[in-house]
Every structure is written in structure tokens, then in C-alpha cells.
Amino acid sequence: MSLLLIDIGNTRVKWARLVDGKMSPQQAAANAGWTAADYARRVIGNVWASGGKGIRSAAATVGVDASTTPSVARAVSRSAGAAANIASSRRSAAVDAEVTSARRSAVAASVSNRPQRAADIDVPTGTLAGDRIVVSSVAGDEVNRALTDAAAKAGAPTPEFVASERTAAGITTDYIDPWRLGVDRFVAAIGAHHLSSGQPVCVVNIGTAMTVDLIDGSGRHRGGAIVPGPALMVSSLLDQTNGIRRRAKGGPAGATGMFAKSTRNAIGEGARYAAAGVIDRALEEARILVGTRPLVILSGGGSVDIKPLIRSTCVSLPDLVLHGVAVWAHQSPSTVRRAPATGRPETAGTRQPTTTPTQGRQTSRSEGPQASRKRRPVV
């Protein structure tokens, strides 16, 4: 059994292969303007041209090596040094005592300075029939159609688009309307809960928007917050003001820090500290709800700049969404529903209140309104 896991965001596409429980390193690319041919060449490749027989060799070329890459959990349990590094990164012995081996796996994968290699995410093998392409996408109809067309042209399995729903893969969301929860947040919650092994976890994704989601130890998604990401904060100030925009151009930048000495740095540092402040406050609120301070997992391209400013202990896991997609795929059987004419894959963002099967694999019972074809940030 092998999976091609794909995470399509607002500006980038990320993907990895999962073969016999081993995940290859995540790959990523900016995908603005990509056609079906681009997705076929860059993401799907030609590994299905011979009925899928080439997928294992293709996975080997991107770093899957069972002899040199033990599972993260086993590596951590065998390495006293890794455990010591994790413990030293904790600011409280009480917090460290609560960390399970699975949580240590997530930390070890993120704190290592070595290039990340394939990780065992503990997805049992031998339980899924055949190869699959499983996708988390917030990019909209046009992009999803291009990916579906690319798979068809490559002779690959029809992509399955994950959709947010009330309960799936160990997660139950408190969202009033589950389909309104961005699918990237939904699968990130699945991945985080799986890695945390029953401990509360706060998932923070920092991109165009910054989202903060809380999942308690039972897998209940308690809700979340959405705020502009740091880059969006900066651009909104520059776009919506005249004086600030004029004063931010040129001149010396000065030292960084909360109290900047130039308008340019005041905007950038203000956005960074604002994002970090939201995260720290969210953790205080989370502790009230769940009775303990949760583990914090950071993902998204903007997390690198914000992590040093967060007062709470946190770890980075750039491929968290792909982990969640893999766990979801293991617990969700593959089903196909087709419509003869539309050629539109169905996702959480494209569904109508009434069920209208469309091309691509239907993966949820959730229903929602028609999404605009215009590519805009979806959270």
C-alpha cells in the first residue's frame, strides 16, 4: 500500500509519499498558475504509468530508506541524548513529565538540525487496498480540477479530497457547522491528536492567516481563532495607510525588537509580536478549558519568524497537515462517486447543501455552500 499525500494551500502545494508506513521528506513549491501538466510533472509524476509498480522506486529517490531511517518514536526511545535535548527545551519539569513518547517524536522531528528524513507516523500497513492519492485543499475548484485532470492523464488513482465533518479519524469538532472549518485545520487537528497520544494540544498554523486550534485529550476540537498572519498585517498597513507607507520606504532599518527605531521595523516587529502575543494568550485560555497547558505544535511558513518570540514551549512540525491526511486515509475507506459532465472534484469548500456527486472521490458527508472560483485565502 502506498499513498501520495498532498496539501494545497493558498499559495503553495506540499506533498510526500507514504510507503509501507514510511513517509518521505515533504516537498513544496509555489503553485500559482500551475496547469494540470504542472501537477502531473511536479507532484504526481509517472510512477503509475505501469499500474503503480514504480511508486516504491520513486519513493526511494526522495529519501525513504528503512535501513537508515528508523521510526521517530523508536529513534527517540533509543536515544538518551535526544531525550535530554527535549527535556532541556522544556521550561517546566512538570510539563516535561507529561510528554509521552509520541509527543517526543514530534519534538525530535522538529528540533533536530539535521535535514528531516522519512518519518514513521505509526500508520499501520497492510490495511488499505491499493494505492491512493489523498488531498487536503483550500485552493478552490480550478486548482482541484487541475489536480484531478493531472491524475487522470498520468494513469494515477482519482484524488480523494478530504472534507471537514463532525467526527473523523479520532477528532470530533465543536464547530456549529463542521463544513465551515477549513479542511487544513481539520486534518492538522487529526495529525496533532494522533501525535500527542491523548494529551491536549494547541495547533498554530502561521501563513496568510494565522489559525490557533485547541484539541483536548479526548480528541475533541474545542474550536479556534483566526487572525491575519504577520505578512498580511504588514501589507494591510502599507495598503490602507498613506503616512505609514511613505515613512516605511527606505532609510535605515535599525535594530529589531518590540520598540523599533524605524517605521519599517516598527511594522514588521509589531506584526511578529502581535502574532506571538495571540498564541501566548490562547494558551492561557486553553489551560482554563482543559486544566493543563497543552503542547503547542507550530506549522506554516511564517512560524520560523514567530517561534523565538513565543513565551510558551512549542515545537515545529512543518508537515503536520500531511501527517493528518495520512491518519485520515488509514481510517477512511476509499470510495468513488462520479458525475459524467462536470469534472469537478468535491471538497469541503465546493459542496452544495444538497448532495451532488462530482468527479473525484467523495470523502465526507459534510455539505456546504458553493465556493468562488477566485483563489482567495481560505481558513
C-alpha cell, 134: 489523498
Print the SS3 string covering 279-317. HHHHHHHHHHHHCCCCEEEEECCCHHHHHHHCCCCCEEC
- Measured between alpha carbons, how far is 329 from 3 in angstroms, rounded to an integer? 9
SS3 call for 270: helix
Contact 47, 58 (CB under 8 A): yes
CB-based burial label for 114 (10 Å; 0-12, 13-18, 19+): exposed
Residue whose C-alpha is closest to residue 316's, from 293, 329, 297:
297
- The DSSP string of 108-127 is HHHH-SSPP--EE--PPSS-
Say how far apart CA 76 and CA 72 lie, in whole Å. Answer: 6
List the helix and strand counts (H, then E) for the chain: 13, 14
The Cα 1–Cα 139 span in angstroms is 27
Is 213 catalytic? The answer is: no
Question: Which DSSP symbol is given to 361?
Answer: B
Query: What are the DSSP calls for 163-199, one per residue?
Result: ---SEETTEEE--SSGGGS-HHHHHHHHHHHHHHTTS
Burial of residue 211 (number of CB atoms within 10 Å: 0-12, 13-18, 19+): buried
Sequence-separated (6 or more) residues with CB below 8 Å from residue 277? none
To the nearest 10 degrees (0 to 180), the angle between helices 183-196 and 101-111 is 120
168 contacts 72 by C-beta, under 8 angstroms: no
Which has the closest alpha carbon to 292: 313, 318, 274? 313
- The active-site residue out of 120, 131, 184, 216 is 184
Residues 321/187, Cβ–Cβ less than 8 Å: yes
Active site residues: 184
